[in-house]
Structure 1
Amino acid sequence: MSFTRVARRFHSSSIPQMPPINKPSPGIYDIVVIGGGSGGLGAARRSAQYGAKAAIIEAQPKLGGTCVNVGCVPKKIMWHAADLAHHVNHSRYYELAQDVSESYTPHKPRFAWSDFKQKRDAYIHRLNGIYDRNVEKDGVEYHHGWGAINNHQGTSVSVKKDDGSSYEIPTKNVVIAVGGHPRIPYEIPGAHLGITSDGFFELEHQPRRVAVVGAGYIAVELAGVLNSLGSETSLLIRQDKVLRNFDSIIQDTVTSESQRQGINLVKHTNVKSIEKTSSGLLVHTDSSTNPLEVDCLLWAVGREPETDKAGAKVAGAQTDSKNNILVNKYQSVQLDENTYSKNVFALGDVQGKAELTPVALAAGRRLGNRLYGPAELKDDHLNYENIPSVIFSHPPAGSVGLSEDDARKQFGDSVKVYTSKFTSMYYSMFPQEEKEPSAFKLIVVGKEEKVVGLHLVGQGSDEMLQGFAVAIKMGATKKDFDNTVAIHPTAAEEVVTMT
């Protein structure tokens, strides 16, 4: 199938929503994808666009996976609401709507959570319908149920439906794209009384007092949203900084700014137990004899892959210590030390690296290209280096390439670092104590000063990173950045004017 025909099909919007089918069609499938998230959809749709007989199996009642339903999309909508709350509060400094902004102060929520949830959920429902129509438009069969490989050769996939019945789908190739789920530390007494990021999006009413446990980006983002919308928010972390997997300039800036904005950051602490009372929850920790009283506790302590449910080990898949499926650069599942499957593949969060929606989508599409595309795409695969990512904190942060610590480990004394710390012009009318910081770091290597890392914190960082990520992916040097004329007055100009 030509890409011209594919492009025409992308623009069709008249096809009604397609329900899942109840049984496979006759014959052997070219490719069966287990998991209806971004990665699985990318692989199935791209394969079908080339004419492959493709099916996708999803256990949840709607397509889209974590990102669309309980992840990046509804999270970003909530972040926009929180960000707007900041701007409403800031309007007083521009002599606008003082009667509104002065009443919108921390821990005095004026946010109609329940009403907003209905609007947010309706938007997600519309997206689900678009996903349904897209798979039908591309000729992908959509099966609802738990999909699992059921033989060692990876040539048969079982589908177990909600009513307990099941059927098998014969196939030439299988893709495991089942993602993962948030971890709850059940070894802690009372842990079941808490919710996860999934449960956050089910909340019908805004909790007045919240404890978020974790220091990663999910914990930071959700704590920031809750705090900005008026909940009394505590963030419990085991060490002294958040976002420890990111560069130090992001760790330091987001940690200090979270505290300045009113989050109760409880450092060097571990939860010992949770107790339910008539008025909420008591969170007992090892850092204080006084328990923390909250209405809601949210666990954000990592995610676990759905490896076993997909039958990966039935097909001989090897896994790491966290049960992530091991793959090579072509997403082929590792069978032993030197052997990779020719027909079983894994991508997305279940293979445990660069757990981001665009990464899964890109890997899935490239797999479809390689298996069923033209000759020039027979080596197509995703390069996992220099993948940009953004944290929707307050302020937002973005990162691409190596952190300073990782660069020094890899390149030693040939590393040079440029930094810029400043206050955006947006805050020029603010009193000093209300000004939000920006902090940028550029990491270069060697005499040619090739850029190997860029880390941004501050207003607009989330939107400005993408363009610089393209330059870094193309091998840009510091001289290339210097030779680029700055756009003034913007925060982004700091990236091309560092000395």
Structure 2
Amino acid sequence: MVKQVSGRDFDYDLFVIGAGSGGVRASRIAASHGARVAVAEEYRVGGTCVIRGCVPKKLLVYGSHFAEELQDAANYGWTVEKMTFDWPTLRDAVLKDVDRLNTAYTNTLENNKVERFLERATVAGPNLVRLASGREISAKYILIATGAWPVMPEFPGSEHCITSNEVFHLEKLPKRVVISGAGYIAMEFAGIFNALGCHVTVVNRSETILRGYDESLRDRLLQITMARGIEYKFNCPFDRVEKREDGSIDVFLGKQPDPIHADVVLVATGRRPKTDGLGLENAGVTLGSAGEIPVDDHGKTSCDSIYAVGDVTNRVQLTPIAIREGQAFADRVFGGKETSVSYDCIPSAVFSQPPLAGVGLTESQARQAFGSNIKVYSSDFRPMKNIFGHRPERGLYKMIVDASTEKVLGIHMIGPDSPEILQATAIAVKAGLTKADFDATVALHPSMAEELVLMR
């Protein structure tokens, strides 16, 4: 059991605000080390990823893929008659799985004897939490794991728009969708709605999609999605949104006189740390310019008894990072293990259609760091599965290498199953392997992954 300080008896050794991926992991691990743990969650256990983010979104991606694969089936000898799609069936199946995961996460906390408070909690002091019911609870340590929340810019008519929180609950499949933003959330939903037969228009303030990803992959995705029918409006900020009597929406852009007509307007322009009204000022913790909680390398805030992990710190907004930070915090504070989280070579993926993935430095980043002392290897190929589908779309794999040492600095790819292939590749990049190590590996033929060891 964790020792109390200054002879004071706290109600708990750890109180976690937020039962998402990071908060649940920290709670479970701290409890396994003998700590008395409680967690408060105002909505549902599981957090953004499980309840209204990457998991249900990936299920929609899977569902939308059938449109393409059923069309391809005829070329493989299958007869598929009366192909129809029912949005409520897919939507309800996804929401049912969200219910399952909420139960699973709740059971995890229960099985580890973590007490749960299903209500909002705020910080009332360095060692004090106040629940929405008015009850105050003391804890030796407080962990903030409230995640992030979609940003809704201010413009006339913004109340007629939805975010990624609401998109999973649409009553019916819209015929026309306007998506504001061109980051990973925007591009993933653009691919989903396009595959399901909606007319999709992506509107972006700048002329760049997926900022931060390799430029060659971004260009390839743009070409492919335009060929699939997605329209783009670049350098076009929203001016206003107006709702018609029939429920449809007019989207006015910048100085353009004619609006875009839509049934749904999805705003996907980023996510902000969810710290509004959290009461951190009561413990002397000052938020950063984006509303984030500043922390040190161990996740500790300016208050020694308060820590934060995950998206709320605005370091890396990825679920696996939140999980690692939550575990490292619990192991260090309650398990006596000096553990840390490495933010080097974090793999990432965009489940667009087709998907792209990358790890390590992009070509642009490598040139900034190493100048001309890099080599770029690539493979531009037509995936085998596209041949019978009569699709000219081509995959592209890139390997960025330090010319002096032959060490692989980054690998980036676009094409079917790229995220699945990249995970193993990320291990090689993290381990510091060289181009020669890839060349010495026998190709697995026929596969798309073999292109990784055949690049020239």
TM surpasses 0.5: yes
3-state SS, counterpart of residue 213 of structure 2: coil
Alignment correspondent of 1:118: 92
Gaps of 5+ in 2: 2-8
Note the C-alpha offset of 1:111.
1.8
Kindly provide the CA deviation profile for residues 205-234 of structure 1, in whole angstroms up to 9, marking residues without a partner as x: 111111011010000001110110111111
> For structure 1, which segment, 439-448 or 177-186, has the greater mean C-alpha deviation from structure 2 after superposition?
439-448
Alignment correspondent of 1:184: 152
Alignment correspondent of 2:103: 129
* 1:224 is aligned to 2:191: yes
Alignment correspondent of 1:73: 55
Note the C-alpha offset of 1:381.
1.4
Note the C-alpha offset of 1:307.
1.8
* 1:291 is aligned to 2:262: no
**Contact 2:21–2:46 (Cα < 8 Å) also in 1:** yes
Alignment correspondent of 1:346: 308
1:321 pairs, out of 266, 289, 301, with: 289
Alignment correspondent of 2:170: 203
Distance 1:63 1:182 in 2: 18
**Contact 1:42–1:364 (Cα < 8 Å) also in 2:** yes
Kindly provide the CA deviation profile for residues 133-182 of structure 1, in whole angstroms up to 9, marking residues without a partner as x: 1101011111121111111xx2111111xxxx211111111111101111
Distance 2:254 2:320 in 1: 39
* 1:452 is aligned to 2:409: yes
- In structure 2, the CA distance between the partners of 1:417 and 1:276, relative to structure 1 (3 Å rule), is same
Kindly provide the CA deviation profile for residues 379-422 of structure 1, in whole angstroms up to 9, marking residues without a partner as x: 20111111111110000111111222122222222222111111
Distance 1:409 1:310 in 2: 40
Alignment correspondent of 1:391: 350
**Contact 1:184–1:192 (Cα < 8 Å) also in 2:** no
Distance 1:77 1:121 in 2: 10
3-state SS, counterpart of residue 52 of structure 1: coil
Note the C-alpha offset of 1:321.
2.1
Note the C-alpha offset of 1:252.
0.7
Alignment correspondent of 2:317: 355
Note the C-alpha offset of 1:301.
0.7
**Contact 1:319–1:326 (Cα < 8 Å) also in 2:** yes
Code of the residue aligned with 1:345 in structure 2: it is Y
**Contact 1:395–1:436 (Cα < 8 Å) also in 2:** no
**Contact 1:63–1:132 (Cα < 8 Å) also in 2:** yes
Gaps of 5+ in 1: 2-25, 105-109, 336-340
Note the C-alpha offset of 1:98.
6.0
**Contact 1:36–1:58 (Cα < 8 Å) also in 2:** yes
3-state SS, counterpart of residue 196 of structure 1: coil
Distance 2:192 2:102 in 1: 24
* 1:412 is aligned to 2:368: no
* 1:300 is aligned to 2:300: no
3-state SS, counterpart of residue 225 of structure 1: helix
Kindly provide the CA deviation profile for residues 411-458 of structure 1, in whole angstroms up to 9, marking residues without a partner as x: 222222111111111122343xx2222111111224222112111100
Distance 1:314 1:249 in 2: 48
TM-score, length-scaled by structure 1: 0.87
Alignment correspondent of 2:14: 31
3-state SS, counterpart of residue 283 of structure 2: coil
Note the C-alpha offset of 1:309.
2.7
How high is the sequence identity, in percent, across the aligned residues?
36
**Contact 2:275–2:291 (Cα < 8 Å) also in 1:** yes
2:79 pairs, out of 88, 97, 100, with: 97
3-state SS, counterpart of residue 152 of structure 2: coil
Aligned length: 448
Distance 1:138 1:39 in 2: 15
1:86 pairs, out of 56, 63, 68, with: 68
Alignment correspondent of 1:17: none
3-state SS, counterpart of residue 165 of structure 2: helix
Distance 2:376 2:286 in 1: 39
Alignment correspondent of 2:4: none
> For structure 1, which segment, 86-95 or 214-223, has the greater mean C-alpha deviation from structure 2 after superposition?
86-95
TM-score, length-scaled by structure 2: 0.95
3-state SS, counterpart of residue 166 of structure 1: coil
- In structure 2, the CA distance between the partners of 1:257 and 1:287, relative to structure 1 (3 Å rule), is farther
Note the C-alpha offset of 1:287.
5.6
Note the C-alpha offset of 1:27.
4.5
Distance 2:111 2:153 in 1: 42
Alignment correspondent of 1:142: 116
Code of the residue aligned with 2:167 in structure 1: it is F
1:311 pairs, out of 279, 288, 293, with: 279
**Contact 1:178–1:310 (Cα < 8 Å) also in 2:** no
Code of the residue aligned with 1:463 in structure 2: it is E
Alignment correspondent of 1:440: 397
- In structure 2, the CA distance between the partners of 1:313 and 1:384, relative to structure 1 (3 Å rule), is farther
- In structure 2, the CA distance between the partners of 1:403 and 1:312, relative to structure 1 (3 Å rule), is farther
**Contact 1:34–1:58 (Cα < 8 Å) also in 2:** yes
2:200 pairs, out of 225, 233, 251, with: 233
